[in-house]
């Protein structure tokens, strides 16, 4: 039988944790993030900063179930959680007084998934 799903052990652990928390907290946000992370790497989301800048407001929390890329500029403070970040994206986010974190960190900070926006 051919293996399907992510082969990264950390990714598998995060997906299982997200599914468990979504059942415990009755939160559809974490279930949706888990489903998006289960997709193959080539179908996972890649979001540029200009898109995050366009669709967010100041001090908003955003989740990207994939990678954040550094194309464009970020003109306001945003908290971004993602599976991974490019180096240029991290520099630009920190330059705009925003913050970068992993999805697991966001899960610990906000287990109910309130006031989060999925971008991608």
Domain boundary assignment for the chain: 9-118
3-state secondary structure 36-104: HHCCCHHHCEEEEHHHHHHHCCCCEEEEEEEEEECCCCCCCCEEEEEEEECHHHHHHHHHCCCEEEEHH
At 74 the pLDDT is 93
pLDDT of residue 84: 94
Q: Give the pLDDT confidence of 69-88 residue by residue, as tens digits.
A: 999 999 999 999 999 999 99
Kindly report the pTM of this predicted structure.
0.88
Q: Is 3.100.10.10 the CATH classification of the domain at 9-118? A: yes
Average pLDDT on 45-55 reads 94
């Amino acid at each position: 039988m051919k293996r399907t799903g992510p082969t990264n052990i950390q990714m598998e652990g995060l997906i299982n944790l997200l599914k468990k928390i979504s059942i415990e907290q009755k939160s559809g946000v974490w279930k949706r993030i888990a489903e998006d992370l289960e997709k193959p790497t080539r179908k996972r989301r890649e979001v540029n900063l200009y898109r995050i800048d366009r669709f967010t407001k100041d001090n908003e929390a955003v989740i990207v179930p994939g990678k954040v890329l550094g194309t464009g500029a970020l003109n306001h403070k945003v908290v971004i959680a993602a599976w991974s970040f490019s180096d240029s994206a991290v520099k630009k986010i920190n330059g705009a007084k925003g913050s970068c974190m992993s999805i697991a960190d966001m899960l610990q900070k906000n287990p109910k998934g309130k006031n989060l926006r999925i971008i991608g």
